[in-house]
Amino acid sequence: MGFPEIRMRRLRTNATMRRMVRETTVRVDDLIYPLFVRAGQGLKTPIPSMTDCFHFSPDRVAEEAAEVADLGVPAVLLFGLPAQKDEKGSEAWSEDGVVQQAIRAIKSRTPDLLVVTDVCLCEYTSTGHCGVFRSPSARDRGMGFQPMNHRQDADATKTSSPRIDNDATLELLAKMALSHAQAGADIVAPSDMMDGRVRAVRQVLECNGFDEVAILSYAAKFASAFYGPFRDAAESTPAFGDRKSYQMDPANAREALREIELDLEEGADLVMVKPALSYLDIIRRARERFDCPIAAYNVSGEYMMLHAAAAAGLLDRDAAMLEMLTSIKRAGADIVLTYFAKRAAKLL
């Protein structure tokens, strides 16, 4: 049977009809709102590279989190900008670190709001990289972490990716995750892409009585060009080299599925694909293969591309935003991390 008995437009005749038969729905419950916390007091400073986004000091971030909670958004994701950086990122696990202070402030103000914390050293290290380095001579002798001479290493990495000491970094990431759990985080989210980091974090949480803290793994995080505005906002641009030796090659899909599988085996409760828009196929393949909650990060470059196009009068910002979020959900994501979360919540 075909036309005219079958007329597909019958189910598109009006808004109520379209709503009734809609296959994919974006809900406020699907969203996580990222927040940037920096050292200081009384700060709510606009971020030049990211429209409608701000740097908050720990004493001001709880106010923003309360607004997010009032909109019905279930969770925030915290990124920290410390007052001081060093080669090991020591402020990342400080009891009085900016994220640790922010967790306590948010939980005191809005205890039911879920607090997710980014677990990565890039914002805390003087190198801007997601791990610590081992000099070639130390590596040859089988020694552990040694401080690097940045100028010498910059010369050495002009034609190659930097040499991150994977295993030495795991210990520091575990310390960071534990400090977040001790401060009251509900979910820790390792985003560094070191091998074995989910197992290291899971073990330290279990051994210290934080077995109920969940792990959201940035399982398939690609070395993307779409992170530019974020790196400015988080002050985490690498001082030399790039991150291609640890973040994934954008050309690889099967490898992404293997990364997800390994992280689930190591104890991840939720997994993430990042970025979202250029990797909708990865989200779909992950959804078809894995029976677990899948998150996707609608990253800063995607966010600002839409803002730039809207500012130029090329499209309707809100309509394009909702269409974009719907595409991420339609691909198979259960959760969307997006800087549009507040705006989307108001419209939804």
CB 249 within 8 A of CB 222: yes
The predicted structure's pLDDT at residue 136: 56
Quick one: average pLDDT of 166-174?
Answer: 96
The predicted structure's pLDDT at residue 263: 98
Quick one: average pLDDT of 166-172?
Answer: 96
Confidence check: pLDDT of 153 > 80: no
Confidence check: pLDDT of 152 > 50: no
The predicted structure's pLDDT at residue 160: 53
The predicted structure's pLDDT at residue 157: 41
Confidence check: pLDDT of 103 > 80: yes
Q: What CATH number is given for 24-347 in this structure?
A: 3.20.20.70
Q: How far is CA 136 from CA 165, 167, 193, 287, in A?
A: 11, 15, 21, 41
R_g of the chain computed on alpha carbons: 21
CA neighbor of 127 nearest in space, from 226, 237, 225, 224: 237
Residues 228-239: pLDDT tens digits?
999 888 888 888
Per-position DSSP letters for 89-109, written without gaps between them = -GGGG-TT-HHHHHHHHHHHH
CB 184 within 8 A of CB 107: yes
The predicted structure's pLDDT at residue 148: 45
Q: How confident is the model at residue 72 (pLDDT cuts 50, 70, 90)?
A: very high
CB 178 within 8 A of CB 103: no
Per-position DSSP letters for 281-340, written without gaps between them = HHHHHHHHH--S-EEEEE-HHHHHHHHHHHHTTSS-HHHHHHHHHHHHHHHT-SEEEETT
Instruction: Give residues with Cβ within 8 angstroms of 299, minimum separation 6.
Output: 224, 226, 227, 230, 274, 275, 276
The predicted structure's pLDDT at residue 154: 42
Average pLDDT, the chain: 92
Q: Which position among 221, 244, 329, 342 bears the catalytic label?
A: 221
291 burial class (0-12, 13-18, 19+ CB within 10 angstroms)? exposed
Considering only residues 65 and 232, tell me which one the structure prediction assigns the higher pLDDT: 65
d(CA 71, CA 319): 19
| Predicted TM-score (pTM) of this structure | 0.91
Residues 245-277: pLDDT tens digits?
999 999 999 999 999 999 999 999 999 999 999
Weakest mean pLDDT among 23-27, 51-55, 138-142, 216-220? 138-142
Weakest mean pLDDT among 64-68, 129-133, 259-263, 280-284? 129-133
Annotated catalytic, 88? no
Annotated catalytic, 221? yes
Confidence check: pLDDT of 138 > 90: no
Q: Which position among 88, 107, 175, 274 bears the catalytic label?
A: 274
Quick one: average pLDDT of 200-229?
Answer: 97
CA neighbor of 114 nearest in space, from 174, 54, 69: 69
Confidence check: pLDDT of 158 > 80: no
Q: In the chain, what percentage of residues exceed pLDDT 90?
A: 86
Q: Provide the β-strand partners of residue 276.
A: none
d(CA 92, CA 80): 8
Query: In the block, which residue shows the tokens 């909670």?
Result: 69
Quick one: average pLDDT of 313-320?
Answer: 98
Token pair recorded at residue 103: 């967790």
